[in-house]
C-alpha cells in the first residue's frame, strides 16, 4: 500500500482499472476451481496416485486457462480497453502495458493457486507451517521488488512485485510435487504447443487484416473486429485440445461427486 501511495493519481487509477479487470478472471474462474480441488483432495482418502491424478487434472485446466490468457490477452488488451472504457484508456500506453503484463500474472496465479490448494489439502502441520513462513518471505519479496522497481517502471512495478511473490510461493510448494511425471508432461506439452500456435495465428491475422487497425477508420469497429477474430482463433484452439481438457474436467467433476 505504501508503494502504491507513492504513485501519481493517474497511475493509481490505471492500476486499479487493470486489477479490476484481471480480478474478474480470478474470482469467476480460478477461485472456484481451486476450491473444488482443495475439497476433492481433502476428501480423497484413497491412494496417492488418485490424488496426483486430481492434481494433474486441475493443473492442466488452470494452466490451459492461464496460457490462453497469455497467448491471446496481450494482443487484444488495447481493443478490450477501448470497448470497455473508451479511447481515454486505450490510447494510454501505460494502461495497455499493465493489462498485457497482467496476462502473465494470470498464468502465475493459476500455477500458484493449484500448487497451494494441493499443498494445504494434503500437507502435514510441519509443511503447512513452513509454507506459511515462506509466504511471509514472498510478501517481503513483493515489497522489495515493487519498491526497487517503482522509480523506473511506475505502476508496472507493483505487478512485477506480485509476479515475484507468486513465483516464490509456487517454488516453496515444489518439494511435494516430485510425482508429476509421465504421462502428464506430453499432455501439457501438446496443450502448450497448440495454444502457442493459436496465439501466433491470431497475431498474424491481426497484422494482415486492415479492418483490425485502431489507427484508421472507426476505432470501435476495429476493436470489435480484433476481439471477434481472436475469439474465433481461441475457439479453434480449444477445439484442438478439447480431449485432454474435457478428460481433466470429467476427472475433477467425478472427484467432486
Report, as an integer, the average pLDDT of 73-77.
Answer: 88
How many whole angstroms separate alpha carbon 122 and alpha carbon 131? 13
Confidence (pLDDT) at 102: 92
pLDDT band at 82 (very low <50, low <70, confident <90, very high): confident
Confidence (pLDDT) at 202: 86
Confidence (pLDDT) at 89: 83
Report, as an integer, the average pLDDT of 186-200.
Answer: 84
Per cent of the chain over pLDDT 70 is 81
Q: Which of 68, 79, 97 is nearest to 157 (CA)?
A: 97
Confidence (pLDDT) at 216: 59
Q: Which domain holds residue 150?
A: 2-256
CB 202 within 8 A of CB 230: yes
Of residues 253 and 225, the one with the higher pLDDT is 225
Q: Per-residue pLDDT tens for 134-162?
A: 778 888 888 899 888 888 888 888 899 99
CB 7 within 8 A of CB 15: yes
How many whole angstroms separate alpha carbon 144 and alpha carbon 164? 10
Q: Which of 202, 135, 200, 206 is nearest to 172 (CA)?
A: 135
Of residues 173 and 86, the one with the higher pLDDT is 86
Domains contained in the chain, number: 1
CB 137 within 8 A of CB 170: no
**Least confidently predicted of 5-19, 140-154, 208-222:** 208-222
The gap from C-alpha 32 to its chain's centroid, in whole angstroms, comes to 14
Confidence (pLDDT) at 181: 47
Amino acid at each position: 500500500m505504501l508503494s502504491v501511495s507513492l504513485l501519481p493519481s493517474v497511475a493509481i487509477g490505471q492500476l486499479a482499472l487493470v486489477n479490476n479487470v484481471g480480478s474478474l478472471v480470478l474470482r469467476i474462474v480460478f477461485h472456484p476451481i481451486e476450491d473444488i480441488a482443495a475439497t476433492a483432495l481433502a476428501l480423497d482418502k484413497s491412494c496417492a496416485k488418485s490424488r496426483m491424478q486430481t492434481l494433474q487434472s486441475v493443473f492442466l485446466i488452470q494452466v490451459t486457462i492461464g496460457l490462453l490468457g497469455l497467448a491471446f490477452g496481450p494482443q487484444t488488451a488495447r481493443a478490450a480497453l477501448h470497448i470497455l472504457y473508451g479511447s481515454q484508456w486505450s490510447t494510454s500506453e501505460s494502461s495497455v502495458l499493465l493489462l498485457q503484463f497482467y496476462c502473465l500474472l494470470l498464468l502465475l496465479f493459476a500455477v500458484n493457486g493449484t500448487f497451494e490448494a494441493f499443498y494445504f489439502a494434503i500437507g502435514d502441520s510441519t509443511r503447512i507451517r513452513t509454507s506459511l513462513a515462506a509466504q511471509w518471505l514472498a510478501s517481503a519479496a513483493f515489497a522489495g521488488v515493487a519498491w526497487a522497481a517503482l522509480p523506473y517502471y511506475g505502476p508496472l512495478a507493483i505487478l512485477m512485485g506480485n509476479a515475484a511473490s507468486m513465483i516464490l510461493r509456487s517454488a516453496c510448494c515444489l518439494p511435494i510435487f516430485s510425482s508429476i511425471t509421465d504421462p502428464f508432461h506430453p499432455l501439457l506439452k501438446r496443450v502448450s504447443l497448440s495454444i502457442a500456435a493459436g496465439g501466433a495465428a491470431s497475431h498474424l491475422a491481426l497484422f494482415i487484416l486492415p479492418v483490425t487497425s485502431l489507427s484508421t477508420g472507426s476505432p470501435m469497429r476495429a476493436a470489435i473486429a480484433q476481439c471477434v477474430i481472436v475469439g474465433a482463433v481461441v475457439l479453434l484452439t480449444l477445439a484442438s485440445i478439447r480431449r485432454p481438457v474435457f478428460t481433466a474436467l470429467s476427472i475433477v467433476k467425478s472427484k467432486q461427486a
